[in-house]
Structure 1
Amino acid sequence: MRLLVKANVDTERGNEAIRSGKMPEMIKSTLERVKPEAVYFGPMDGHRTMLMVVDLADSSQIPPTLDAFFTDLNAYVEVTPVMNLEELQKGLSQMQ
């Protein structure tokens, strides 16, 4: 199951993580654990934001994948199912 994860970091928590020097390690450990296909960072909706594409074998992986965003950064997290071109073509072929 491929997902687009959008995590908007709480400004106060993000500021604390940056001031304490913990933000780089938090990002590094999250990326090592989650192993996203792609990850991007930038401002969105007035917050520091991370966009990640992850491919999970099972929906039961969603809680451990997202937990650090909630507990460490008090982030607002959106998860959207997405597919690559090959998956889209496979799905469309089943509609005929």
Structure 2
Amino acid sequence: MRMMMRFSIPVERGNEAFEDGTLGQVIQTVITETKAEAAYFMLEGGERTGYIFFDLEDVALLPKWNEIMFAALDAAIDVVPALTFDDLKRGLSS
């Protein structure tokens, strides 16, 4: 199932991670491990924020990916299903 992971990183911890070089490394690890279809980055509420879209084959992988972001970046994380328009049309037609 296609999922969207939204994460935001507190400013102070993000600054530390930027300075010590771990910010990009941690995000790259999650993108690689999830085999992301797409990833987008922006500022929301003054915090570094990212959206990663990926196909989830095993729900048991989520804690591993979440813990990487929690431990290294103090990130707040939401993971939710993400439907394409075709998925939505199929769901509405049943």
TM-score (norm 1): 0.85
Task: Name the counterpart of 1:13.
Answer: 13
- Equivalents in 1 of 2:79, 2:30: separation in Å? 16
TM-score (norm 2): 0.86
Based on CA coordinates, which of the two structures has the bigger radius of gyration? 1
- Equivalents in 2 of 1:58, 1:83: separation in Å? 18
Task: Name the counterpart of 1:74.
Answer: 74
In structure 2, give the amino acid aligned to 1:76: A
- Equivalents in 2 of 1:32, 1:19: separation in Å? 22
Task: Name the counterpart of 2:33.
Answer: 33
How far apart are residue 59 of structure 1 and its match? 2.3
- Equivalents in 2 of 1:75, 1:16: separation in Å? 13
Q: Where do 4+ consecutive residues of structure 1 move more than 3 Å?
A: none
Matched residue SS, 1:57 = coil
Overall identity of the aligned pairs, in %: 33
How far apart are residue 5 of structure 1 and its match? 1.3
Task: Name the counterpart of 2:46.
Answer: 46
- Equivalents in 2 of 1:4, 1:28: separation in Å? 16
Task: Name the counterpart of 1:93.
Answer: 93
5+ residue gaps, structure 1: none
Taking only aligned residues, the RMSD between alpha carbons, in angstroms, comes to 1.5
The number of residues matched between the two structures is: 94
5+ residue gaps, structure 2: none
